[in-house]
Amino acid sequence: MSQSSRSIVVVDVEWFRHKDKKPIVKEIAVYGDVLDSLILQPPRDIYTFSEGQRRSFRWLTRNLHGLLWQEVDYPYSFLTSFVQSVLLRYSDRSFYAKGLEKCNHLSLLFGRHFSDLDETACPKVTGNHFICKSGQEQHTRGIHCARNKAAEFMHYLEQQINVQRLRAGSRYFRKLDITHKRNCNIAHQEGDSPSQQRANPEKD
Ligand SMILES: [Zn+2]
């Protein structure tokens, strides 16, 4: 599929979160025509959070995404501008993310509906194939990279769309074939009539 023909946008995030507190987005990746991603500086110093929250954040770094709290690409305030630019650029597209929790949070962040890839047969990401901006080896080699996941999910969705197009195409061509045969029969029958009409006077 050519890039300009895409009607979908895939978004994924890696975050710092603790229980039901609002998650802090650490990495966000958006795949529309191209793959864009940011690694954000959290909005507050880690020591302004409770010990319980800091424990959860450290656990996420060690066991999941490998992103360090202090790792910086853009200030957190840039997230709003980034989201606005995505909304402007892809205003007429359908937005996708994987997992109900992410869909809910991203819907709030973007003010748009997100369709949940978990409601399709979209498989989990199994490897990291895309170069991430993070300098952390644990992150860039692991599967919990927003950039990597957005790219893999887009690849999956494009395959699904191509399959649907092929099926729709074969139905269309079957219909064309039936219409063509029907038209041929009508033309054949219509073609018979004048000759029969011509034949009859000759008999008279
Ligand atoms: Zn990454």
Classify 27 in phi/psi space as left (phi over 0), alpha (psi -120 to 50) or beta.
beta
SS3 29: strand
The string of pLDDT tens digits covering residues 34-51 is 999 999 999 999 999 999
26 Cα–ligand 1 center, Å: 9
CATH, domain 5-162, list 3.30.420, 1.10.20, 3.30.70, 3.40.50 = 3.30.420
Q: What is the mean pLDDT of the chain?
A: 86
192 Cα–ligand 1 center, Å: 71
Report CA-CA distances (Å) from 199 to 141, 186, 195: 84, 20, 6
Question: What is the bridge-based pairing of β-strands 74-75 and 35-41?
Answer: parallel
166 or 30, which is more confident: 30
9 Cα–ligand 1 center, Å: 18
> Are 27 and 147 a contacting pair, CB within 8 Å?
yes
**pLDDT value at position 198?**
45
pTM greater than the 0.85 cutoff:
no
**pLDDT value at position 72?**
83
Give me the residue spans of the domains in the chain.
Answer: 5-162, 164-192
**pLDDT value at position 179?**
59
131 Cα–ligand 1 center, Å: 8
The string of pLDDT tens digits covering residues 121-158 is 899 998 887 778 788 888 988 899 999 999 999 999 99
